[in-house]
Amino acid sequence: MTDLAISFDDVVAASHRIENVAHRTPVLTSATADEMTGAQLFFKCENFQRMGAFKFRGAYNALSQFTPEQRAKGVIAFSSGNHAQGIALAAKVLGMRAVIIMPTDAPQTKMLATKAYGGEVILYDRYSEDREAIGKRISAEQGLTLIPPYDHPHIMAGQGTAALELLEETGPLDILLVQLGGGGLISGCATAAKHLAPACEVFGVEPEAGNDGQQSFRSGKIVQIETPRTVADGAQTPALGKLTFPIIQKLVQDIVTVSDPELVETMKFYASRMKMIVEPTGCLTLAAALGGHVPVKGKRVGIIISGGNIDLQRFAELVQG
């Protein structure tokens, strides 16, 4: 028996639940990126997922396991954007009510999309209010089931299906680069990757300003920081999860950081060379490879692109800046 929150079997079970509901996103390659890094890169394009990010996987996996009683009352979630949209869309597909707690400074595109999927949005100030406390209060008052953005076994297993699909397509990889915020994506992806390719080294990549994951990984205990200010809005988490951290400790090779300017350069690369709009958080992984933060030369490398949800105006500001 494992003492970890999820196993490979959980990821496989999740893949069956989301089949025909979530997109099996394409795996792309880029001769230019290969040349620049000296590696063979395989891009798992979750920017093409339903609602524009990997979060739909975990959201649907979690909500599809609700009891009839839970479904009747609905779900509540807190998120800076992509989890919000994922939960709102999954709830819509399953015919459930969804209440979403979002920060006042969440990207407009993420807020509007959440509302368009039928989510009831409640705003809070991420620098002075505790979203979890607000969520628990409303959950208790209205009988809604609270689904956190990353620290939940069904969420983690669902997110791991991205790596499962990637490795089914590419065969064994030497390295897998995964975005790191709260750890939901990397804990699921590492669980899948290390089972399918035990020699694969999994690296987490987070923004320089929000290096709580790196601090936690190196100190052996969860380190909490102030909400980081970074263009990578999807990785503005102050700490790793209690369930995600043990998996990261056991299965992840190392955690590296990249700067905001590197993220912007990577956004430009994706747009100009690969004709894709990728949000800053989605750029963390390739930025780590391009910046030499992970030794990828001569290796077969999986690059998770976590999402593509960014306001077009903000995108233009960043790439022209």
Catalytic residues, which ones? 55, 80
For 12-32, the DSSP string reads: HHHHHHHTTTS----EE--HH
Residue with tokens 């939940």, as numbered in its chain? 152
CA pair distance 40, 44, nearest whole angstrom: 13
For 126-195, the DSSP string reads: TTTS-HHHHHHHHHHHHTPEE--SSSSHHHHHHHHHHHHHHHHHH---SEEEEE-SSSHHHHHHHHHHHH
The SS3 of residue 119 is coil
Looking at residue 208, its amino acid is: E
CA pair distance 18, 89, nearest whole angstrom: 13
CA pair distance 263, 232, nearest whole angstrom: 8
Burial environment of residue 158 by CB neighbours within 10 A (0 to 12, 13 to 18, 19 or more): buried
Provide CB contacts within 8 A for 77, sequence distance 6+: 59, 83, 84, 87, 98, 99, 100, 101, 135, 146, 147, 148, 149
Q: 255 - beta bridge partners?
A: 204
Provide CB contacts within 8 A for 248, sequence distance 6+: 183, 186, 187, 190, 204, 213, 216, 217, 240, 255
Segment (H or E) for 83: helix 82-94
